[in-house]
Amino acid sequence: MNINLKCRLISDVGCVRANNEDMVLMNGELYRDQEAEQSYTLEGDARFTTLVADGMGGTNGGEFASELALQYFDQFLARVPEGLSDEDFHELIDRWAKQTHQGIVSRGIEQTEYSNMGTTLTGLFGYGGRIYLINIGDSRTYRFRGGVLKRLSRDHSMQEKYHDYSLPSNMIYNCLGGGAPVEEVFADLTDITDQVMSEDRFIICSDGLHDMIDDDTIERIVDESLNSEEVERQDTVKELVEAAKKAGGKDNVSVLLVHFVSVE
């Protein structure tokens, strides 16, 4: 499989929080409080990472947890041997999630200022010529195609689990760290290779976006920015971040747009 990718990200502290606990991993580089772009071509079994982590827990704990999770994943993916069966690979991802959870919990015990820190994690990565969606927690991955936005990830929130929207949207039952029993930690992993088409765009974001603006608004902003009649198209990622901030910006907001320019 040969893929041409264009990626654009913004990680912003928002309007209320004093520090940014989000972090973005894009093709081996970590970003926080930054804007960045990358374009690259993937050939054959080349690997890639486009992930967003949203940390929680104390003044610095969330920052540390999201950074650890993305560092651990990047190192893990680089070491995975080629040729694993689908079943073995899924088992390896599950083991990675539990080990990362334990690692983050242990760091919080060792350094009490980070006690009970945790993080979500979602996004896309490539392994063995396949494209995978991974999700832990309530950050989200969407696909935009033909003017239609579709949420691909499932929120691991109490609100969504019980379909009770009177519950706080940030009450989650699955994350890395955060003090939950290790046996309850899991990663949703989906092979989406056969669902990806040229010109697909994936929006990977922390809940600082989707808690501030609904999916219909996200869809409208993406559609309008891509179909702008201006000489240059508008900056879709910037438009999304600014919309979240105009709606209150109560949380950090990180948005990573992954454009599959061509898939062959």
Nearest to 103 by CA among 206, 185, 19: 185
Of 5, 178, 174, which is closest to residue 94 (Cα–Cα)? 174
Residue 123 has pLDDT above 90, yes or no: yes
Domain ranges of the chain: 2-263
Is there a contact between 171 and 159 (Cβ–Cβ < 8 Å)? yes
**Tens-digit pLDDT profile for residues 111-120:** 988 989 999 9
Under the banding of pLDDT at 50, 70 and 90, the label for residue 10 is very high
- pLDDT beyond 50 at 11: yes
Residues 6 or more apart in contact with residue 139 via CB below 8 angstroms: 52, 53, 54, 120, 121, 122, 153, 204, 205, 206, 207
pLDDT at 68 (0 to 100): 97
What was the pLDDT predicted at 58? 62
The per-residue pLDDT for range 55-76, each reduced to its tens digit, is: 998 667 999 999 999 999 999 9
Q: What is the band of 155 on the pLDDT scale with cuts at 50, 70, 90?
A: very high
pTM over 0.75: yes
User: Quick one: average pLDDT of 209-217?
Assistant: 97
Give mean pLDDT, residues 165-191.
Answer: 92
- Write the CATH number of the domain with boundaries 2-263: 3.60.40.10
β-pair partners for 37: 8
Question: What pLDDT score was predicted for residue 180?
Answer: 83
Mean pLDDT along residues 242-248: 98
pLDDT level of residue 192 (50, 70, 90 thresholds): very high
Say if residues 204 and 123 touch (Cβ distance below 8 Å).
yes
Quickly state the pLDDT bin for 170 (edges 50, 70, 90): confident
Q: Dihedrals φ, ψ of 188, to 5°?
A: -75, 120
> 202 — phi, psi (to 5°)?
-110, 130
Alpha-carbon distance 13 to 122, whole Å?
19
Residue 228 has pLDDT above 90, yes or no: no
Residue 52 backbone phi and psi in degrees, to 5: -125, 135
Average pLDDT, the chain: 94
Amino acid at 22: D
Maximum separation of any 2 CA atoms in the chain, in Å: 55
Give the pLDDT confidence score for residue 229 in this predicted structure. 64
Res 166: pLDDT:
87
